[in-house]
Amino acid sequence: MGVHTALVADDSRIFRSWLRELLREQGFEVVEAANGREALDLALSVRPHLLVLDALMPLMSGFDVITKLREKVADYHPILFIVTAVYKSRRWESEARLQHQVHEYLEKPLEESTVLAALERHLPGASQPG
């Protein structure tokens, strides 16, 4: 199997660092963005298999990134994880899944086991040490 690439977009440097290391341990190549505009630019240029987007980031939300990506490249269908420390309710999760077709809606603080289980659901076999 080829190497999977992941984009981690979050305005928290600490969160990005934690998730970058976790994903690298699973064999992913990881690119990072500190805001929504960087996330959109990287997603368009790198085309990662997995996008982990913070729901609320400077310049553009994770949801806006998804919308803009679909407008620009309709044939690009990455696995989409939204992470949030703010929008914590079934209503927000339901809206994210229905309107934005996110694959996982993960509430912070995240546990390593939660991320690994989500990876296994959507990229079976990818979450194996590289």
**Does residue 130 form part of some domain?**
no
pLDDT at 1: 42
**Does residue 129 form part of some domain?**
no
**Does residue 91 form part of some domain?**
yes
From the first residue on, what is the mean pLDDT of each consecutive set of 10 residues in the chain (130 residues)?
87 97 96 98 98 96 97 96 83 85 94 96 72
Question: How many Cβ atoms sit within 10 Å of the Cβ of residue 58?
Answer: 12
**Does residue 78 form part of some domain?**
yes
Total domains in the chain come to 1
**Does residue 73 form part of some domain?**
yes
Work out the burial of residue 125: count CB atoms within 10 Å of its CB; fewer than 13 is exposed, 13-18 middle, 19 or more buried.
Answer: exposed
Residue 35's domain spans which residues?
A: 5-122
| Prediction pTM value | 0.92
**Does residue 22 form part of some domain?**
yes
Q: What is the CATH number of the domain that holds 56?
A: 3.40.50.2300
